[in-house]
């Protein structure tokens, strides 16, 4: 049997099916990889996608590039909650607009910036 190594793993957390993108899966921006994430989440009926902060490109954190919105928007449109797991690098948090973006997304139900798996489990419970 042919086994293909994928950068995903799935886990149930409470009532949610969470698709975890592995830290060594590559950097996420717009385009093919984002489409692959959406397709994979849909194929396994995941309602939440967890992405390590380390897999985001530096330009993701520069809101003027539009990459953060371009990554979050399609997932929200497909009703897939997205959780970015880990600490946002301190140098990025010097930008007030990014801090506001993170604060506002964390207030909602569609996209979250969370410290770790425990915070995700708590949010989903």
Q: Which domain holds residue 57?
A: 8-124
β 8-13/111-114 pair status:
unpaired
Least confident of 18-32, 34-48, 56-70: 18-32
Distance of alpha carbon 96 from alpha carbon 89, whole angstroms: 14
Q: Does the residue 19 lie in any domain? A: yes
73 located within any domain: yes
Query: Does residue 50 lie within any of the structural domains?
Result: yes
Residue 28's SS3 state is strand
The answer to whether position 3 is within a domain reads no
HSE-up of residue 50 (Cα within 13 Å, Cβ side) = 25
111: CATH? 3.30.750
Q: How confident is the model at residue 7 (pLDDT cuts 50, 70, 90)?
A: confident
Residue 1 in any domain: the answer is: no
Residue 1, pLDDT > 50, answer: no
Q: Is residue 100 part of a domain?
A: yes
CB 30 within 8 A of CB 39: no
Domain count along the chain: 1
pLDDT tens digits, one per residue of 78-90: 999 999 999 999 9
Instruction: Give the largest CA-CA distance in the chain.
Output: 51
- Tens digit of pLDDT for each residue in 17-35? 999 998 887 787 666 678 8
Cβ-proximal residues to 15 (8 Å cutoff; 6+ apart), any chain: 124
Instruction: Tell me whether residue 55 is in a domain.
Output: yes
Q: What is the pLDDT of residue 112?
A: 97
- Is residue 98, in this structure, part of any structural domain at all? yes
């Amino acid at each position: 049997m042919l086994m293909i190594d994928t950068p995903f793993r799935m886990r149930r957390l409470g009532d949610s099916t969470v698709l975890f993108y592995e830290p060594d899966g590559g950097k996420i921006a717009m385009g093919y990889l984002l489409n692959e994430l959406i397709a994979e989440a849909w194929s396994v009926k995941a309602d939440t996608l967890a992405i390590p902060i380390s897999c985001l490109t530096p330009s993701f954190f520069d809101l003027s590039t539009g990459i953060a919105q371009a990554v979050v928007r399609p997932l929200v449109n497909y009703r897939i909650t997205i959780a970015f797991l880990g600490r946002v690098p301190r140098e990025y948090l010097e930008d007030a607009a990014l801090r506001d973006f993170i604060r506002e997304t964390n207030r909602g139900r569609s996209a979250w910036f969370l410290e770790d798996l425990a915070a995700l489990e708590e949010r989903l419970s």
